Structure 1
Amino acid sequence: GGSPPQDNNVNNNGRGPLNGGMKLRRTHSQPPLGAVPQISIPGLDTKRKLIDYIWKEEWYGATARCQQSPGEVRHWSETRNKKGKIMWRKLPIHAVLKMGKHWQPAHYELVHTMLQMFPESAQCADENGDLPLHIIAGCKNVSSPQLAQLVLSYNPKAIQTSNSNGMLPLHRAYAGGAPPAVLQIIYNACPQAAQVIDGRSKLPIQYLRAPRER
């Protein structure tokens, strides 16, 4: 798959080559893991909705709620302004992938559970036209190779899908400062994306040169 393009004039915060010397295999169309074990939490509040657990970053509680109330995994939440324009519209998986201060195994298990219950969610875009893969690429704090491979396996075509700003996941990865291993996975899945210009007339690599514009 090669290495993602780099700008040698850019300070990479001492991280070295963006590919980190890693050789990662391409992802495949089938989920890489088996079924997520059922989680039982004594005293789980049945009145709390899935989104409530997500906002508070209670990942084990959210996973248990998914198993208790599977329909909520498919529930869209949205906010409109006074003119009726949609300002915020997301599935729980979109919200989960944006949350969290750092990657945790429980966070991964929750995303895995959601994808098993609603595989089509990997093909659903939020109000910005972002698929789950775009969100993973653009959120460096919670992004991980495991999450990137998992979501990509449920929707391989996402790697060639642009959001409302014409950005592919590779644009989002560069613009969001994705970890080197995540950037490598996204690049390997579609090296040609490095030559695609987005809605701002930028190649993915050009976002490294304009950190204040991210």
Structure 2
Amino acid sequence: MGQAQAMRRRALIAAPAFFVAPKFFVDQAAATTLVGALQAGGVVVVMRHGITDRSQADTGDLRNRAAQRNLSDAGRAQAQRVGAAVAALRIPIGQVLASPVFRARDTAEIAFGARAVVEPMLNADDYTPDPMRLDQQIAWLRARSGRPSGPAVTDILVGHIVPLGMVLGRGLTQAEYPEGAMAIFAPGPDTGRLLGILPADALFVAAG
């Protein structure tokens, strides 16, 4: 990773306090509204991969699972619960796309099965050493967040925290966009309109 890219990434991760918007911390009423949007369809979800094993470090090698931070047992269980909750809530799933990084691929495949497809444009920033390529990925994600594949389906894009922060133009904290959370976007002409962020636990509560 180049020095300029690394500095850009650190700036997005280390979000200043004034960037933290309380509206993203979902109360029960807001969670109900967001679940309703998922059930109605015509939205795009940018879902963060599930809970990971923080004792593992990333090396930037996409082909080597052992050289990546992977899902923990808790993350695998979380992904299973996401899939079960989506089914229980009768959310009409459309396309399911996942970053090629194993933690995102595994999350998508555990939660949504064989319909999950690897999408290189969802790659993690620290696995994209070329700044020009990273800019292309962010432009793609910005546009895709506003373009659901159908008027009555909910598309799921499983990726990472920093690219979403780049799309939004600000840093995202771990509390605001925890592992397994769903950022839900309504259609838009150039980019999606963020309706809110639904943590996995809130989805589980809604599913009963």
More strand by share: 2
User: TM above 0.5, one fold?
Assistant: no
Higher radius of gyration, 1 or 2? 1
Interval of TM-score (by shorter of Structure 1 and Structure 2)? under 0.3
Give TM-score, length-normalised by structure 1. 0.26
